[in-house]
Amino acid sequence: MSGNQFPADYNPDIIILGENGRLIAQGDDTPHSDGKSDGKLPVVVESEKSVSRREALKRDLDKGLFILVNKQNPVDSSYKPEDLTAIKYFAPDRPPEGRVMRKEAAEAFNKLSEAAAKKGHTIIVTTAYRSYDFQSNLYNNYVKYHGKKEADTFSAQPGKSEHQTGLAADVSSPSVNYQLTKDYINTPEGKWLNDNAYKFGFIIRFPNGKENITGYVYEPWHIRYVGKTAAKEIFNEGLTLEEYLEKEI
């Protein structure tokens, strides 16, 4: 093997050493550079970067940040996070119940909103946490006016909304009169959110072109907190939460 070519399964985060401490390239069973082989199995040593990533994901998993609530994975009607915390930046005409998120998510959103403001963008929450009963009333109203088939494309049935986890929020801006619209992505605020949410641990939960996986239409306003490590990887790889969890967890 010459130059900078590596095997397809090469992983720069893994270092393989023989028991005598000499470096062995991954997957390489040829003699060492000194022309000799010690004939012993290599010892796999994870790099600091690999270990810290694994530990970060384990920590976020233990905190419940990867809870998956969708059409196939409902949450109990009585579920309510114990650490719901008020969000600083929210639409003033929305009910108080929806102005809270889990503590870590609320603090992260406050930082996101403040960072957006420094760039001249107003991004605030319209609704975050929703109880089972709140979602039930909302969904039933949508069914009444749109019919069940259409309602199911953009509204979660009670118990199947991740708003109930306290980790999701709908956000908007004055430029669209605080409405939830697909046109949000065409605004400076929507573009900034799409490109920067991951830096604060959030993902666009229902991305464009992934409707067959998420079960919902594209929602550029709906963000979900998963922690910075997972959010960055989901953003860079263009994945949905479902795809990421199947791949990593």
- 14-17 and 100-102 beta bridge pairing: unpaired
Residues 181, 95, single domain; the answer is: yes
CB–CB of 121/187 below 8 Å? no
Residue 2 lies in a domain: no
- CA 223, 227, 229, 230 torsion-angle sign: negative
Residues 95, 194, single domain; the answer is: yes
Model-level pTM greater than 0.85?
A: no
Residues 28, 116, single domain; the answer is: no
The reported pLDDT for the residue numbered 38 is 53
Residues 40, 127, single domain; the answer is: no
The reported pLDDT for the residue numbered 1 is 45
Residue 4 lies in a domain: no
Residue 81 lies in a domain: yes
Residue 89 lies in a domain: yes
Residue 229 lies in a domain: yes
CATH number for the domain that contains residue 110: 3.30.1380.10
Residues 19, 109, single domain; the answer is: no
Residue 5 lies in a domain: no
Residue 3 lies in a domain: no
The reported pLDDT for the residue numbered 33 is 43
Residue 9 lies in a domain: no
CB–CB of 14/46 below 8 Å? yes
In the chain, how many domains are there?
Answer: 2
Residues 136, 41, single domain; the answer is: no
Residues 30, 92, single domain; the answer is: no
Residues 41, 105, single domain; the answer is: no
Beta strands in the chain (DSSP E): 14-17, 23-24, 43-46, 84-86, 100-102, 124-127, 168-172, 202-206, 219-225
Q: Identify any residues that bridge with 17 across adjacent strands, giving them in sequence order.
A: 23, 43
Q: Identify any residues that bridge with 100 across adjacent strands, giving them in sequence order.
A: 86
Residues 78, 22, single domain; the answer is: no
Q: Identify any residues that bridge with 240 across adjacent strands, giving them in sequence order.
A: none
Which among 104, 162, 219, 233 is annotated as catalytic? 219
Query: Does the annotation mark 219 as catalytic?
Result: yes
Low-confidence ranges of the chain (pLDDT < 50): 1-35, 37, 44
The reported pLDDT for the residue numbered 46 is 56
- 168-172 and 219-225 beta bridge pairing: antiparallel
Residues 82, 37, single domain; the answer is: no
Q: Which two tokens stand for residue 146?
A: 């749109």
Residues 66, 173, single domain; the answer is: yes
Return the closest-CA partner of residue 230 out of 218, 220, 243, 219. 243
The reported pLDDT for the residue numbered 42 is 52
Q: Which domain holds residue 187?
A: 53-248
Residues 123, 37, single domain; the answer is: no
